[in-house]
Amino acid sequence: MAKNCHNDYKMKFSVDDEFPDLSLHNNHMAKVLTKDIYAKLRGKSTPSGFTVDDVIQTGVDNPGHPFIMTVGCVAGDEESYEVFKELLDPVISDRHGGYKPTDKHKTDLNFENLKGGDDLDPNYVLSSRVRTGRSIKGFTLPPHNSRGERRGIEKLSIEALASLDGEFKGKYYPLDGMTDAEQEQLIADHFLFDKPVSPLLTCAGMARDWPDARGIWHNENKTFLVWVNEEDHLRVISMQKGGNMKEVFRRFCVGLQKIEEIFKKHNHGFMWNEHLGYILTCPSNLGTGLRGGVHVKLPKLSTHPKFEEILTRLRLQKRGTGGVDTASVGGVFDISNADRLGSSEVEQVQLVVDGVKLMVEMEKKLEKGESIDGMIPAQK
Amino acid sequence: MPFGNTHNQLKMKFSSEAEYPDLSKHNNHMAKVLTPAMYERLRSKQTPSGFTLDDVIQTGVDNPGHPFIMTVGCVAGDEETYEVFKELLDPVISDRHGGYKPTDKHKTDLNSNNLKGGDDLDPNYVLSSRVRTGRSIRGFCLPPHCSRGERRAVETLSIEALASLTGDLKGKYYALKNMTDAEQQQLIDDHFLFDKPVSPLLLASGMARDWPDARGIWHNDNKTFLVWVNEEDHLRVISMQKGGNMKEVFNRFCTGLTKIETLFKERGHAFMWNEHLGYVLTCPSNLGTGLRAGVHVKLPNMSKNAKFEEILKRLRLQKRGTGGVDTAAVGGVFDISNADRLGFSEVELVQMVVDGIKLLIEMEKRLEKGQSIDDLMPAQK
């Protein structure tokens, strides 16, 4: 076990002296952390040397927002979720609807188990998209990894992605070294990611050494995209215009599984366990790490008094088309699954498919001036 | 340490080459000095408190620099950093401080009686005078690395020490985290309030962690002596007043600093200092005296003179706009201060400012009358 000298130095001070001031804070970490928990965890570190102060720094530095509940803690490696379970289990429970330490998470990436989803009305559904993240076993996570580790991940990723063919044949663009023309094209395609500016991310250390070993890969059709070393080791996105979510999900599952096979061959599978599913940097992305969603025109439904209630019952959430925390424009919303942990990929995409189908039907009714009272769904 | 890979022992599994930062686009002192061989020799070391080479250089890796401004690109996390990583920091110090050698000795002189003149800079030209420095408290890690407990202990000691000042140094402490709106407004109006750092140079080194915990501002009732606690350094000490009486400003500076140092020593905590580097501070650019003494001075004619830059250089002075470093001058008013920090004493540096400003004003008056300043050109100091 790597000795953490730094940790020992601050051990000269009492728990009271070292405990963070969380009096103005509103995030999951601040709601869970007590002096007792801090006292128990402060002397520990994971095998790679990640400490409880590392876990919570972003939540200490970013008190949060009265209306938006941020997570306020991150993992630095796979073992963080075990070594600091006393803090992270309650955070996970709060964030993921009461998920218990004894619960098991089910992974299902068999796209054939999805019913329907190929016929969402393209007059309403403008585009469909599924994204997730993956962490490569044997490396520490973005808040903590060294340059050597990050470059190791990039190298493995390039190799894995380069061996894809057919609909998945594509190209890798390292952030450091792309031409101006390449950069312009990636911006025009809305593929380019930039150095994080959110203090939620920078305070956790994820932007260190930028842009070293960061890059974007996409297939020639521009329907399958992978981000390397941004907030997670890999972010995988499948998307296309229109309402054929089934096709988007098929490509997502097939592509992900192909990539996973190649990583496994190099003895670097994805981080996963039967309790937390896929392990990612932020506790909010555990389980499936999946956000499946559509851009859909719902100008009438979105102004209906029961809109929020309907979304809650369908286990969906809305965002503006600019992403999280943006406003909708022209009655077009980004509607996606609210859950990540405790239900499978197929189940979550099914909720989106069924829910959006219902909401489009409701929109059509409202267009004709008819009531939707008989269509209000039960809580899923 | 939240800025991550610093205590990540897994990185030793990778070769030095795999871990070596890409500095190809970088223009800072660290990037100009670090080599793969040096990195290999230093990568497995750490100070007793656990500060590593990667901690030292992270800010310089994350901030490539600017083609015209030469940033330092490295910081110390504790007193021992300058010893454990001397192979990197000695050349950086040499580059930054005019060839200062590892064997050189630095002289400290805080006896304001040794300053000649300085009480009569023409107030028609000199609008205000100011002297600042920093101090680190021995026994604690520095802002990039200190824990909350350490930072709070530095604050507690500082409050105690400052509370026992008397006479014209009697004052009050305002903790950042619980000042009233009225207090905050007053501090803003007085231009005393400091805010959470936004510069990526500072953020990347970890100095803003846990903000605003244990940060605060102390000033005397007269508002002529100000101390910042736990901003970029443990303490930043500032003496200032309107007009051109630099002697008085420096006198108060020395008296106040010496008193504070005595109070800290009484409590078993000296300032970090050694005979080679003088006062030890977070940024290598502030070693030695850590002193910047300057005035806001009206030099509209001088500043348009072709020889202005050359004169400043010879006088060992530098100019800034009145908003501070990297701001433009407004209305021909410049902030003129000493360029050096290490290798000269406090008295010597303030003397250069006093003598240099006196000369620049003489030149300004000549130019006002349309006369030449050629005979006033100074030799290189």
Q: Per-residue pLDDT tens for B259-269? A: 999 999 999 99
> For testing the chain B interface, which of A208, A210, A212, A268 should be mutated: the one with the most B CBs within 10 Å?
A208
User: What value does the mean pLDDT take over residues B235-252?
Assistant: 96
Local confidence band at A5 (pLDDT 50, 70, 90 cut-offs):
very low
Instruction: Out of A118-127, A266-275, B319-328, pick the least confident.
Output: B319-328
The reply to whether A104 falls in a domain is: no
Instruction: Give tens-digit pLDDT for B154-199.
Output: 999 999 999 999 999 999 999 999 889 899 888 888 878 888 888 8
Q: What is the mean pLDDT of residues B253-263?
A: 95
Is residue A203 located within the same domain as residue A266? yes
Q: Which of B4, B18, B149 sits opposite A148 (nearest CB)?
A: B18
- Same-domain check for residues A161 and A79: no
Are A128 and A90 part of one and the same domain? Answer: no
B98 labelled ligand-binding? no
Residue A373 lies in a domain: no
Contact yes or no for B18 and A151 at CB 8 A? yes
Report CB contact under 8 Å: A148, B19.
yes
Which chain A residue shows the shortest CA-CA distance from B7? A49
A242: left (phi over 0), alpha (psi -120 to 50) or beta: left
- Average pLDDT estimate for B275-285: 97
Q: Do A75 and A202 lie in a common domain?
A: no
pLDDT band of A4, cuts 50, 70, 90: very low
pLDDT at B208 > cutoff 90: yes
Confidence grade of residue B3 (pLDDT, cut at 50, 70, 90)? very low
Which of A62, A96, A130 is the last residue before a domain boundary? A96
On whether any CB of chain A is under 8 Å from the CB of B213, the answer is yes
pLDDT digits (tens, 9 = 90+) for A78-96: 999 999 999 999 999 999 9
pLDDT band for position B122 (cuts 50, 70, 90): very high
Calculate how close chain A gets to B2, using CA atoms only, in Å. 5
Q: B145, A6: Cβ pair inside 8 Å?
A: yes
Residue A374 domain flag:
no
pLDDT in tens, A233-252: 999 999 999 999 999 999 99
Q: Identify the pLDDT of residue B4.
A: 42
In a domain, A138, yes or no: yes
pLDDT tier for residue B69 given thresholds of 50, 70 and 90:
confident
Please give the pLDDT value at position A330: 84
Residue A88 located in a structural domain: yes
In CATH, what number is assigned to the domain containing residue A61? 1.10.135.10
Q: Please tell me if residue B24 touches chain A, with a CB cutoff of 8 Å.
A: no
Please check the confidence at residue A304 and state whether its pLDDT lies above 80: yes
A204 and A265 in one domain? yes
Give me the residue from A17, A76, A144 closest to B152, CB to CB. Answer: A17
Q: What is the pLDDT of residue B88?
A: 98
Choose among B2, B20, B213: nearest Cβ to A205.
B2
The answer on A173 and A76 residing in a single domain is: no
Question: Quick one: pLDDT band at residue B2, thresholds 50, 70, 90?
Answer: very low
Interface check B46 vs A, CB under 8 A = yes
Scanning every residue of chain B, which has its alpha carbon at the shortest distance from the alpha carbon of A12?
B149
User: Of B11, B50, B152, which is closest to A148 when you measure between CB atoms?
Assistant: B11
pLDDT(A6) > 80: no
Q: Which ipTM score applies to this complex? A: 0.88
In angstroms, the CA A216 to CA A173 distance is 5
Looking at the predicted structure, is the pLDDT value of residue A31 above 70?
Answer: yes
Per DSSP, what are the bridge partners of residue B336? B295, B319
At residue B308 the predicted structure's pLDDT band, cuts being 50, 70 and 90, is very high
Identify the pLDDT of residue A294.
Answer: 97
Residues of B in Cβ contact (< 8 Å) with A49: 7-10
How confident is residue B5, by pLDDT bands cut at 50, 70 and 90?
Answer: very low
Q: How far is B230 from chain A (nearest CA, A)?
A: 16
Domain count, chain A: 2
pLDDT digits (tens, 9 = 90+) for B209-235: 999 999 999 999 999 999 999 999 999
Same domain, A47 and A120: no
Residue B329 DSSP symbol: P
Is B145 part of the contact surface with chain A (CB cutoff 8 Å)? yes
How many Cβ pairs closer than 8 A exist between chain A and B?
Answer: 134
Residue A330 falls in which region: left (phi positive, over 0), alpha (psi -120 to 50) or beta: left
Kindly state whether residues A322 and A234 are assigned to the same domain: yes
Which of chain B's residues have a Cβ under 8 Å away from the Cβ of A60?
Answer: 209-210
Handedness of CA B56, B57, B58, B60 (dihedral sign): positive
| Residue in B21, B50, B152 closest to A4 by CB | B50
Cβ separation B11–A60 shorter than 8 A: no
Q: What is the C-alpha separation between A72 and A169, in angstroms, rounded?
A: 38
Could you tell me if residue A228 is inside a domain?
yes
- Please indicate if any CB of chain A lies within 8 Å of the CB of B36: no
Q: How confident is the model at residue A49 (pLDDT cuts 50, 70, 90)?
A: very high
Inspect the interface and report whether the beta carbons of A148 and B50 lie closer than 8 Å.
no
Check B5 against A147: CB less than 8 A apart: yes
Cα dist. A148→A227, B22, B308 in Å? 18, 11, 49
Pairwise CB contact (< 8 Å): A57 & B2 = yes
In this prediction, residue B7 carries a pLDDT of 66
Q: Do B1 and A54 touch (CB under 8 A)?
A: yes
pLDDT at B323: 65
Tell me the pLDDT band of A322, cut-offs 50, 70 and 90. Answer: low
**Which letter does DSSP use for residue B31 in this model?**
H
Do A92 and A116 fall into the same domain?
A: no
Q: What mean pLDDT value characterizes chain B? A: 93
Give A176's contacts in chain B (Cβ within 8 Å): 22
Domains (ranges, CATH) in chain B? 5-97 (1.10.135.10), 112-369 (3.30.590.10)
Q: Does B152 belong to an annotated binding site? A: no
| Local confidence band at B133 (pLDDT 50, 70, 90 cut-offs) | very high
Q: Does B10 reach chain A within 8 Å, measured CB to CB?
A: yes
Which of A96, A121, A137 terminates a domain? The answer is: A96
pLDDT at A317 over 50: yes
Domain identity same for A90 and A232: no
Q: Are residues A83 and A119 in the same domain?
A: no
Chain B residue at shortest CA distance from A211? B62
Which residues form the domain of A245? 111-368
pLDDT of the residue at B327: 64
> Mind telling me how many Å the CA of B5 is from chain A's nearest CA?
5
A83 belongs to an annotated ligand binding site:
no
Is B106 annotated for ligand binding? no
Same domain, residue pair A253 and A342: yes
* pLDDT value for A3: 35
Name the residue facing A5 among B50, B204, B213 (closest C-beta): B50
Using the predicted structure, report yes or no on whether residue B270 has a pLDDT greater than 60. Answer: yes
Question: Does the pLDDT of residue A1 top 60, yes or no?
Answer: no
Widest Cα–Cα separation across chain A: 72
Q: What is the pLDDT of residue B380?
A: 95
The fraction of chain B above a pLDDT of 70, given in percent, is: 96
The CATH number of the domain where A346 resides is what?
3.30.590.10
- Give the Cα separation of B359 and B373 in Å (integer): 10
Domain C-terminal end among A96, A123, A155: A96
pLDDT, one tens digit per residue, over B53-62 is 999 999 999 9
Does residue A103 form part of some domain?
no
